[in-house]
Amino acid sequence: MYNFDFVKPATVDEAVKALADDEAQALGGGQTLIPTLKQRLASPSKLVSLTGIAEMKGVSKQGDTVVIGGGTTHRTVAEEAASAYPGLADLAGRIGDPAVRNRGTIGGSLANNDPSACYPAAALGSGATIVTNSREIAADDYFQGMFTTALEEGEIITEVRFPIPKKSAYAKIAQPASRFPLVAVFVAQYADGVRVAVTGASNNGVFRWSEAEAALSGNFAADALDGLTVASDDMIGDLHGTAAYRAHLVGVMAKRAVAAAS
Amino acid sequence: MPKDGGIGASSKRREDIRFLTGAGNYTDDINLRGQAYVFFLRSDIAHGTINNIDTSAAEGMPGVVKIFTAEDFAGVGGMPCGWQVTDKHGEVMQEPGHPILATGKVRHVGEPIAAVVAETLGQARDAAEAIDVDITELPAVIDMKDALKTDAPKVHDDLKNNLCYDWGFVEENKAAVEEAFQKAAHVTTLELRNNRLVANPMEPRVAVGDFARGTGEHTLYTTSQNPHVIRLLMGAFVLGIPEHKLRVVAPDVGGGFGTKIFHYQEEAFVTFAAKACNRPVKWTSSRSEAFMSDAHGRDHVTTIQLALDADNNFTALRTDTYANMGAYLSTFAPSVPTWLHGTLMAGNYKTPLIYVNVKAVFTNTVPVDAYRGAGRPEATFQLERVIDKAAIELGVDAIELRRQNFITEFPYATPVAVEYDTGDYFATMDKLTEIADLAGFEARRKESEARGKLRGLGVNCYIEACGIAPSNLVGQLGARAGLYESATVRVNATGGLVVMTGSHSHGQGHETAFPQVIAEMIGIDESMIEIVHGDTANTPMGMGTYGSRSIAVGGSAMVRATEKIIAKAKKIASHLLEASESDIELKDGAFSVAGTDKSVAWGDVTLAAYVPHNYPLEDIEPGLEETAFYDPSNFTYPSGAYACEVEVDRDTGQVTIERFSAADDFGNIINPMIVSGQVHGGIAQGIGQALLENCAYDENGQLLSASYMDYAMPRAYDMPFFSVDHSCQTPCTHNPLGVKGCGEAGAIGSPPAVVGAVVDALRSAGKDVTHVDMPLSPSRVWAAMQ
Amino acid sequence: MTQVNMTVNGKAASGDVEGRTLLAQFLRDSQGLTGTHVGCDTSQCGACVVHVDGKAVKSCTMLALEADGAEVSTIEGQANADGSLNVIQQAFQDHHGLQCGFCTPGMVMSAAALLKDNPKPTETEVRDYLEGNICRCTGYHNIVKAILAASGQDVSAIAAE
């Protein structure tokens, strides 16, 4: 790692001020950023830790919405969102490994927007609202391609609001080495329709599979997806699977998510 | 039941106490006063000409002590190769130079170009980034068959081409093999790839160099399986330091699996730099660095053909293999696809005629050398896979086809130059049939199918040659080293023993198992015996631990030294008991006179040896310390039968291992618990090779699997509980313990069972599949189903 | 350099660190607690697992300054007060759950975290929990068995050898 200054503010306001410096970068749980820094792929002059900000932590149910602080760890979401939004809690409880879940945060994951991360599928698949220190961003506007989001420099995800669906589930097949999703699909059924979000598969990062959404909105059953395929043109092809394989898996995982939805 | 603490007891490991409490002493735990740190600037391109290395900007960076490039090593030898193979025309192999730091060209991604020694590792790395290296990139050769084309770019400009050697074995049999194929009733042909692997011991390599100006003594602390070998190679061939001025210490080592046998540039560098900088120099590999600097394993491309007569007897076998050497010859690389591979092609079968051709090829990749099994997994895999394919083609039961062709009489001289001393392949297959419950497979398959899963069964045999090796034989075959082992047994005055062994324990439990042997021989408690290993300053010259040789060769040396101890102690006892030496018996830690109740305790004899007041000084010297060097007269030949059951997900191609069973014949067993652990670990590495692990390059020589993000390591949930058995025991006839060695068997025997099981599962769904190349990733299995 | 203060295995520990100093480096280099190992640089192998405020974390993927004020437990603090092996450590020895010992500190610390949350895990739960701890020696057979045994479950039916 290149060296950097480290600050750990106690409030969002302090953090925003600290991030106003050029080359300052926010540090969530660090489970992606620290390995990146070790490879010297980033060189911030200052890291602003968000782990000391109490107001950014916690899970609460507000009406038909689950609100999760941006600094909440995957483990906490897995434990505390389980009754209100079991599909989301299940997803959080399967990110990385237990030690990673004890540090990694939802805000960190969404800000990074790794094309193989789990949380983007939940956020997009739920039509969540990404709340920052300065505004609210709809998930449909937030994800803008791999490692690219609507966040401005220095903008912090303070909370994420997930509308609670009637049913939901997350189906994942792991990449054999990293154990990140090779392909994973989050399905959520709402009163006004079904959302299907796919991660791990596309060169453009997480995306909604609109044909599947249409089919499932009419008939929320796995066989409603029979015959539906996604094009492999934009799928990732690498050591772990061809684009055609990933395209195939999108259908398989979507069906499995529907079948498992509760 | 075995006696507590003696041969055959599952004694708990004494070394565990320190490992479980964080009190181990691994090389990276060693920090010397005043030490500096080195960071190697490594090539990020696979092949290129170095035009210039400008270190001027880096020299002035904070904390920099000294920057080294190839020029600093002008008077120093290159990295030596320890084995010279002679090709089928009688020519010796092409052997390129292998510099410590890249000289003139870079030949693989990861080759060290420059080294920065600085006060901290961070500063060293900062400065390395300021070095300006001007390289003209050249086309890289990655694929072995491309590398042998006449117009291929040459990895080494001073060699004729990229062919290291073209080995034929046994060349004299070639014509007879051809004839047998022409007469065959059936010929089965299989093309396959044995995937390139990275050994990945969990402890990355570390080297710390130290130089004592007052005495002129160099010390190297290193993560090695064989510190004496490193001392000899580095001292004699690289740095020109005589052994008495060079100490090599390999303390607790966190796994080796072959990749810590070899002498590496980083070891020579820190030893050299410690003197040049006049302070200790430490190098700690990161995992990412390990992927591009640890020698890789396997990487063979093979076509094998099996000829059978009308009664399905194997009549001949021939195999053509391309073996990747990488860009340079690692220490024992040339021996792996030849003498550790071709000599095993008979397997467990009485095939009368065999011909093996191996073309070893230079490519712009990391050097390839021995990895757990080394040559024998490659031999076993192709042989067992071609038998499975033959059974499919002939419509016969694959287990019966094997049984029909088993070797039945021992000793058995194979047509590939080795003689198996003992074995009973029916016994291990019968035992496997029992422990794997092969009779219950069809019911389990139906149960899987009811859940929508495909289920398959793979069964195969293996034989390996280990306990390496007779020095005079390997000398004839091109080894530039002997392969004996040593032990010094020092008895202390009050009766305790210290065994100084040339074997090295890096997970195998020598500190526990070796004392069990001596405890049994003398009849004392194992806790009275301590094992010292890993330091050339206090162990006799020994060749170290690899090739499943430690108990068979190192243990035998210890037995021989202990026999000398007992012989001398009997002389002392006969004096103390005033009886004839021939009447003295040693039992349960006491010497007695046969047929009388006169006896003297072990401790009284040992005390007499060091306080020789009443002692036959005119006949024997005081003291009780003996050394033995044991050179085996043959290899040992563990064998066994393995079974794997898998489920395959029809939709995703995902494979899960549902059952894995291994019936091994290791001869006599010292500590069954440790033996089982060795087999478990070997099987897991074999399953890793078969399902997960794949070291891959792109066409430009960039390493695609350069970290754990892309190189798939087996996890706990990839494995089932294993069922292993080693009750079939045909003791080795030529070593004093009757032992064969167990360290590599699991990795040798398991890959074909896994692949066979997946193929069987796919065939159960009507897919016309006879082979799928490893690793059987979900993507590949799914593709095979389409 | 910034001073960091924490409690390690019940004792106050402090030292001057850079922003980039990892918790693993602080423990190994500043505190001499070399039982915590570093086996990879991508946060996967788990040899570096320690507990921070009672939770398992990868100390090579956490800055030392993030642990300021925290209670840290390492492998060196796991034995019983009289120095004997604790239940998990003893089970690892009894069931040969380690070979080279390099991954062992992380395995023991992860096992302790698992059993704290889930005192009687199933085999599947143990294997799943160990996703972030890689062992190259044992094939996991005896590690899983040792953890089940440490939880007080009868492992005699699991293949003994």
Question: What was the pLDDT predicted at B4?
Answer: 73
Helix (H, G, I), strand (E, B) or coil at A233: coil
Is A79 found in the same domain as A95?
yes
Helix (H, G, I), strand (E, B) or coil at B494: coil
Is A156 found in the same domain as A66?
yes
Q: What are phi and psi of B78, to 5 degrees?
A: -90, 180
How many degrees, rounded to 5, is the angle at CA B604 between CA B599 and CA B606?
A: 120
Is C48 found in the same domain as C115?
no
Q: How many CB atoms lie within 10 A of CB A143?
A: 26
Is C61 found in the same domain as C23?
yes
Domain stop point among C47, C77, C107: C77
Is A60 found in the same domain as A142?
yes
pLDDT tens digit string along B693-718?
A: 999 999 999 999 999 999 999 999 99
C40 contact residues in B (CB cutoff 8 A): 287, 707-708
Beta bridge partners of C13: C6
Is C134 found in the same domain as C71?
no
pLDDT tens digit string along B502-528?
A: 999 999 999 999 999 999 999 999 999
Which residues between 64 and 93 in chain C have a beta carbon less than 8 angstroms from any beta carbon of chain B? 74-76, 78-79, 85, 89, 92-93
Q: Which residues contact B725 (CB under 8 A, 6 or more apart)?
A: B431, B432, B435, B661, B662, B663, B664, C161
Name which of B654, B704, B715 is nearest A173 (Cβ-Cβ). B654
Is residue C93 assigned to a domain? yes
pLDDT tens digit string along A117-165?
A: 999 999 999 999 999 999 999 999 999 999 999 999 999 999 999 999 9
Per-residue pLDDT, averaged over B254-272, amounts to: 98
Q: Which domain holds residue A132?
A: 54-163
CATH number (domain holding residue C138): 1.10.150.120
Check whether B531 has a pLDDT greater than 80.
yes
Domain count, chain A: 3
Per-residue pLDDT, averaged over B238-243, amounts to: 97
Check whether C159 has a pLDDT greater than 80.
no
Check if B31-138+202-255+260-293 and B296-469+634-785 are the same fold.
no
Question: What was the pLDDT predicted at B652?
Answer: 98
Alpha carbons B32 and B49: distance in angstroms, whole number:
38
Is residue C101 assigned to a domain? yes
Q: Which domain holds residue C61?
A: 2-77
Contact B722 C131 (CB under 8 A): no
CATH number (domain holding residue A44): 3.30.43.10
Q: Which of B72, B61, B71 is nearest to B125 (CA)?
A: B61
Is C98 found in the same domain as C65?
no
Q: How confident is the model at residue B3 (pLDDT cuts 50, 70, 90)?
A: low
Domain stop point among C77, C107, C122: C77
Check whether B428 has a pLDDT greater than 70.
yes
Is residue C156 assigned to a domain? no
Is C73 found in the same domain as C16?
yes
Question: What was the pLDDT predicted at A22?
Answer: 84
Check whether B2 has a pLDDT greater than 80.
no
Contact C101 B252 (CB under 8 A): yes
Is C72 found in the same domain as C15?
yes
Sort B226 into a burial class: Cβ within 10 Å, 0-12 / 13-18 / 19+.
buried
Domain stop point among C21, C45, C77: C77
B677 contact residues in C (CB cutoff 8 A): 96, 99, 137-138, 141-142
Mean pLDDT of chain A: 96
Question: What was the pLDDT predicted at B495?
Answer: 97
Is C140 found in the same domain as C102?
yes
Check whether C115 has a pLDDT greater than 70.
yes
Is A231 found in the same domain as A183?
yes
Q: What percent of chain C has pLDDT over 90?
A: 96
Check whether B574 has a pLDDT greater than 60.
yes
Chain B contact present for C145, CB below 8 A? yes
- Alpha carbon distances (Å) from B468 to B473, B488, B552, B565, B630: 10, 20, 8, 26, 11
Per-residue pLDDT, averaged over B47-58, amounts to: 98
Question: What was the pLDDT predicted at A118?
Answer: 98
Report domain extents, chain B: 16-23+484-630, 31-138+202-255+260-293, 296-469+634-785
Per-residue DSSP letters for B143-157? Answer: SHHHHTSTTSPPSST
Check whether B228 has a pLDDT greater than 70.
yes
Contact B288 A39 (CB under 8 A): yes
| Strands of the sheet with C49-52, listed across from one edge | C11-17, C2-8, C71-73, C49-52, C55-58
Q: What percent of chain B has pLDDT over 90?
A: 99
Chain A contact present for C125, CB below 8 A? no
Architecture of domain B31-138+202-255+260-293: Alpha-Beta Complex (3.90)
Which residues between 75 and 104 in chain C have a beta carbon less than 8 angstroms from any beta carbon of chain A? none
Contact A34 C61 (CB under 8 A): yes
Instruction: Please check whether residue B362 is in contact with residue B345, taking contact to mean a CB–CB distance below 8 angstroms.
Output: no
Instruction: Please check whether residue C1 is in contact with residue C26, taking contact to mean a CB–CB distance below 8 angstroms.
Output: no
B434 contact residues in C (CB cutoff 8 A): none
User: How many residue pairs bridge chain A and chain B with CB atoms within 8 Å of each other?
Assistant: 52
Question: What was the pLDDT predicted at B1?
Answer: 41
Per-residue pLDDT, averaged over B84-94, amounts to: 96
Name which of B126, B777, B782 is nearest A176 (Cβ-Cβ). B777
Beta bridge partners of A143: A149
**Extended beta strands in C18-132, E state:** 49-52, 55-58, 71-73
Per-residue pLDDT, averaged over B481-510, amounts to: 97
Is residue C157 assigned to a domain? no
Question: What was the pLDDT predicted at A119?
Answer: 98
- Alpha carbon distances (Å) from B19 to B40, B476, C103: 30, 42, 9
Relative orientation angle of helices B602-610 and B555-577, to the nearest 10 degrees: 90
CATH number (domain holding residue C66): 3.10.20.30
Chain B contact present for C111, CB below 8 A? no
CATH entry, B16-23+484-630, from 3.30.365.10, 2.60.40.2550, 3.30.1540.10, 3.50.50.60: 3.30.365.10
Domain count, chain C: 2
Name which of C98, C102, C123 is nearest B16 (Cβ-Cβ). C98
Q: Which residues contact B53 (CB under 8 A, 6 or more apart)?
A: B69, B113, B114, B131, B132, B133, B134
Sort C152 into a burial class: Cβ within 10 Å, 0-12 / 13-18 / 19+.
exposed
Instruction: Please check whether residue B70 is in contact with residue B99, taking contact to mean a CB–CB distance below 8 angstroms.
Output: yes
Q: How many CB atoms lie within 10 A of CB B14?
A: 16
Per-residue pLDDT, averaged over B369-378, amounts to: 97
Is C97 found in the same domain as C43?
no
Which residues between 116 and 145 in chain B have a beta carbon less than 8 angstroms from any beta carbon of chain C? 122
* C63 to chain A, closest Cα gap in Å: 8
Task: Kindly report the CATH class assigned to B296-469+634-785.
Answer: alpha beta
Is residue C119 assigned to a domain? yes
Read off the pTM. Answer: 0.97
